[in-house]
C-alpha cells in the first residue's frame, strides 16, 4: 500500500489549482434547496457535479427523484473488488449578504482559506473525496468507488429514500463514508459513529373563541398558556433536564465509561463550547456529563410558545388558544413513534383536551467504532493527520445516514473534515486547504487499504 500512496504529496501540490477551480465553480452556484426561486440553480449544480465526476474519471448520471435530483458517479475496477460509497450533499443554506464580509456565492481565497456558502457544508469535503478518488483511479487500484451527491439534505432529504430504493441494485457496497460532520477540536480529528434521532411535536389547548378581559374573566377562566406551562413542568425538570415521563428512558442503553473516555479525548473544552454557542450558564459544566448528554442521552426541549399577546407592554387579555412547540432528541434503541405515543398519552391522560400532534420522527443511528472498517478509518486519519482520532457520537441527526443504513446494509462511518471554526450554516462559512490536503490523504489511504485487502472478512 505504501507504493500506491508514494506520489500523493506531489499529486496534491500539482492538483491544488484544480481543486480551487472546482470549488470556485461549485460555490458560485447558489443551490439553496429551501428556496423555490433557486430551483434553476439546483439544476445547474447537478449539471456541474456530473461534469466534475466525469472529468475525474467516473461514469456520472443525474438521477431524477420526485424532488431534486441525485448525482451518481461510479468507477468500477472489477466485480471482485471491494466497493466504497462516498456520500455528500451539494445543496446549501441561504445566505444574507449583509451578514457576510465577502460575497457568499463567490469563493474568496485568502491564503489557505476558502470562504463562501457551501465551502465546508458540504462542497469542499465532497471535492476532497473526489480528489482522492481521482488519484486512486489513475493508479488503477483494485477498488470500486461510488459517489452519491444529494441536493435535498438541507431540507431533510425528503426524496432520498425514493432514490435509494429505485437505484438499490446499483448501490450495493461494502462500506459507506459520509463526509458531512464537524470535528470537536481543530487539533483532534473525530470520527462519528452515532447520531441522535429526533421527534418533533406540538401541544395545543383551546379554551374559548376569542380574547377575554382578564379583569372580567380572570380567575374562573382557564388560561391556555398557563395550562401549557403546567404540561411542560410535568414533562421536564428544567433545572436538571431530567425527563419526568415514566418509561421515557426505559429503552436507553447508557454510554459506557470507555465511550465517554473517547468523547473526552476528542479535545472538547467546556468553556470553549459555551463561548462558541453564546451560553452564559448550563445545567452542568462537568465535561463527562456534558458529553454524555450531547452524544448519548435523550432530551425534551421547549422551542416556543404561540398564542397570547407578545407586543410592547402588557395587554391584559386571556387568549382562547395557545400552543407549545416541543422536541425530543432520542438515542439508539428508542423508537421515535413509540416515544411520541408515550409522551402523547402521558399528556392527554392529565389534560384530556390537549391536542398533541406529531410533526416529524427520525430514528437514531449507531454505527461501528470497532471492526475492520472502523479500523480502516482510524488508520486513514492517523496517516493523513498524524493524530489518532477520537470516536464520538453526534448530537444531531442526518436522515440520509439512516436511509443508507437501512437499505444498503453496509457500515456507515461519518468521516467528516469540517472544523468548529468553519461556520456551518453561519455567515463567512469557510474551508481550509489544510483540511482538503489532509482529507485527500485520508480518503486515498482508506481506498488503498481496502484495495489491499485491509477489510477481509467483510
Q: Are residues 448 and 317 in the same domain?
A: no
Distance CA 329, CA 367 (A): 17
- Does the structure show a pLDDT above 90 at 225? yes
Q: Where are the alpha helices (DSSP H) in 56-118?
A: none
Q: Are residues 42 and 185 in the same domain?
A: yes
Q: Are residues 78 and 156 in the same domain?
A: yes
Q: How far is CA 279 from CA 100, 271, 275, 284, in A?
A: 23, 9, 6, 12
CATH code, domain with 35 = 3.40.630.10
Distance CA 124, CA 132 (A): 13
Q: Are residues 188 and 87 in the same domain?
A: yes
Residue finishing a domain among 362, 391, 411: 362
Q: Are residues 160 and 220 in the same domain?
A: no
Distance CA 97, CA 417 (A): 25
Q: Are residues 104 and 54 in the same domain?
A: yes
Distance CA 452, CA 319 (A): 69
Q: Is residue 262 part of a domain?
A: no
Q: Is residue 92 part of a domain?
A: yes
CATH code, domain with 223 = 3.30.70.360
Q: Are residues 188 and 201 in the same domain?
A: no
Region of 406 on the Ramachandran plot (φ > 0 left; ψ -120 to 50 alpha; else beta): alpha
Q: 350-383: per-residue pLDDT in tens?
A: 999 999 999 999 999 999 899 999 999 999 999 9
Strands 355-362 and 197-206: antiparallel
Q: 244-287: per-residue pLDDT in tens?
A: 999 999 999 999 999 999 999 999 999 999 998 899 999 999 99
Q: Are residues 216 and 109 in the same domain?
A: no
Distance CA 140, CA 392 (A): 34
Distance CA 400, CA 323 (A): 31
Closest CA to 206 of 222, 230, 219: 222
Q: 281-319: per-residue pLDDT in tens?
A: 999 999 999 999 999 999 999 999 999 999 999 999 999
Q: Is residue 405 part of a domain?
A: yes
Q: Is residue 124 part of a domain?
A: yes
Residue finishing a domain among 362, 394, 416: 362
Full DSSP string of 382-407: HHHHSSPPEEEEESS--HHHHHHHHH
Tell me, what DSSP letter sits at residue 32? B
- Does the structure show a pLDDT above 50 at 330? yes
> What's the pLDDT at 132?
98
**456 confidence band (pLDDT: 50, 70, 90):** low
Average pLDDT in the 442-449 region? 97
The answer to whether 263 and 292 are in contact (CB under 8 A) is yes
Closest CA to 396 of 195, 168, 242: 195
- Determine the 3-state secondary structure of 432 from DSSP: strand
Average pLDDT in the 423-452 region? 96
Q: Is residue 274 part of a domain?
A: no
The answer to whether 58 and 44 are in contact (CB under 8 A) is no
As a whole number, the mean pLDDT across the chain is 95
Q: Which domain holds residue 341?
A: 197-252+297-362
Q: Are residues 175 and 301 in the same domain?
A: no
Q: At what angle do helices 8-27 and 433-451 cross, to 10 degrees?
A: 120
Question: What is the rounded (10 degree) CA torsion for 388, 186, 93, 156?
Answer: 30
Q: Is residue 64 part of a domain?
A: yes
Tell me, what DSSP letter sits at residue 411? -
pTM over 0.75: yes
Closest CA to 32 of 73, 88, 89, 70: 89
Distance CA 302, CA 324 (A): 7
Q: Are residues 103 and 233 in the same domain?
A: no
The answer to whether 156 and 58 are in contact (CB under 8 A) is no
> What's the pLDDT at 1?
67
Q: Are residues 335 and 436 in the same domain?
A: no
The answer to whether 265 and 389 are in contact (CB under 8 A) is no
In the numeric block, the cell 441561504 is attached to 94
> What's the pLDDT at 457?
41
Write the CB contacts of 317 (distance below 8 Å, at least 6 apart in sequence): 211, 212, 213, 214, 308, 309
Q: Is residue 261 part of a domain?
A: no
Can you say how many angstroms the Cα of residue 96 is from the centroid of all Cα atoms in its chain?
22
Write the CB contacts of 259 (distance below 8 Å, at least 6 apart in sequence): 296, 391, 393
Q: 401-414: per-residue pLDDT in tens?
A: 999 999 999 999 99
Distance CA 190, CA 211 (A): 53
Total number of domains in the chain: 2
C-alpha cell at 66: 420526485
Q: 54-96: per-residue pLDDT in tens?
A: 999 999 999 999 999 999 999 999 999 999 999 999 999 999 9
Residue finishing a domain among 332, 362, 392: 362
Phi, then psi, of 67 in degrees rounded to 5: -120, -120
Q: Are residues 311 and 445 in the same domain?
A: no
Tell me, what DSSP letter sits at residue 153? G
**458 confidence band (pLDDT: 50, 70, 90):** very low
Average pLDDT in the 429-452 region? 97
Q: 89-148: per-residue pLDDT in tens?
A: 999 999 999 999 999 999 999 999 999 999 999 999 999 999 999 999 999 999 999 999
Q: At what angle do helices 287-296 and 257-264 cross, to 10 degrees?
A: 110
Q: Is residue 283 part of a domain?
A: no
Helix (H) or strand (E) holding 148: strand 144-150
Distance CA 4, CA 24 (A): 29
Closest CA to 127 of 16, 11, 22: 22
Amino acid at each position: 500500500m505504501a507504493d500506491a500512496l508514494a506520489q500523493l504529496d506531489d499529486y496534491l501540490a500539482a492538483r491544488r489549482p484544480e481543486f480551487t477551480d472546482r470549488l470556485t465553480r461549485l460555490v458560485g452556484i447558489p443551490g439553496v434547496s429551501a428556496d423555490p426561486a433557486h430551483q434553476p440553480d439546483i439544476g445547474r449544480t447537478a449539471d456541474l457535479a456530473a461534469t466534475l465526476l466525469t472529468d475525474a474519471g467516473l461514469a456520472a448520471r443525474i438521477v431524477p427523484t420526485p424532488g431534486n435530483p441525485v448525482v451518481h458517479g461510479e468507477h468500477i475496477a472489477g466485480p471482485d473488488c471491494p466497493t466504497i460509497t462516498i456520500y455528500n450533499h451539494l445543496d446549501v443554506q441561504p445566505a444574507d449578504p449583509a451578514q457576510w464580509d465577502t460575497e457568499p456565492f463567490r469563493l474568496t481565497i485568502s491564503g489557505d482559506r476558502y470562504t463562501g456558502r457551501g465551502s465546508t457544508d458540504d462542497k469542499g469535503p465532497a471535492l476532497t473525496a473526489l480528489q482522492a478518488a481521482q488519484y486512486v483511479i489513475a493508479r488503477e487500484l483494485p477498488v470500486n468507488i461510488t459517489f452519491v451527491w444529494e441536493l435535498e439534505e438541507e431540507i431533510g432529504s425528503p426524496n432520498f429514500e425514493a432514490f435509494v430504493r429505485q437505484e438499490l441494485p446499483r448501490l450495493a457496497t461494502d462500506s459507506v463514508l459520509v463526509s458531512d460532520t464537524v470535528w470537536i477540536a481543530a487539533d483532534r480529528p473525530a470520527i462519528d459513529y452515532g447520531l441522535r434521532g429526533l421527534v418533533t411535536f406540538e401541544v395545543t389547548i383551546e379554551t374559548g373563541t376569542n380574547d377575554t378581559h382578564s379583569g372580567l374573566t380572570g380567575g374562573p377562566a382557564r388560561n391556555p398558556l398557563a395550562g401549557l406551562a403546567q404540561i411542560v413542568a410535568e414533562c421536564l425538570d428544567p433545572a436538571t433536564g431530567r425527563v419526568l415521563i415514566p418509561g421515557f428512558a426505559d429503552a436507553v442503553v447508557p454510554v459506557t465509561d470507555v465511550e465517554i473516555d473517547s468523547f473526552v479525548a476528542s479535545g472538547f473544552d467546556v468553556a470553549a463550547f459555551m463561548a462558541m454557542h453564546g451560553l452564559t450558564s448550563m445545567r452542568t459544566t462537568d465535561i463527562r456529563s456534558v458529553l454524555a448528554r450531547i452524544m448519548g442521552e435523550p432530551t425534551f426541549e421547549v422551542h416556543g410558545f404561540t398564542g397570547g399577546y407578545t407586543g410592547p407592554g402588557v395587554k391584559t387579555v386571556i387568549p382562547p388558544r395557545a400552543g407549545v412547540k416541543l422536541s425530543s432528541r432520542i438515542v439508539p434503541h428508542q423508537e421515535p413513534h413509540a416515544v411520541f405515543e408515550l409522551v402523547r398519552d402521558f399528556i392527554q391522560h392529565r389534560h384530556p383536551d390537549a391536542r398533541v400532534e406529531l410533526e416529524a420522527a427520525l430514528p437514531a443511528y449507531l454505527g461501528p467504532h470497532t471492526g475492520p472498517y472502523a479500523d480502516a478509518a482510524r488508520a486513514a486519519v492517523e496517516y493523513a493527520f498524524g493524530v489518532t482520532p477520537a470516536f464520538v457520537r453526534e448530537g444531531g441527526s442526518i436522515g440520509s445516514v439512516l436511509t443508507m443504513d437501512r437499505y444498503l446494509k453496509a457500515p456507515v462511518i461519518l468521516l467528516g473534515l469540517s472544523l468548529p471554526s468553519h461556520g456551518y450554516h453561519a455567515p463567512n462559512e469557510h474551508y481550509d486547504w489544510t483540511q482538503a490536503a489532509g482529507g485527500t490523504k485520508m480518503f486515498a489511504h482508506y481506498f488503498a487499504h481496502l484495495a489491499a485487502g485491509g477489510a477481509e472478512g467483510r
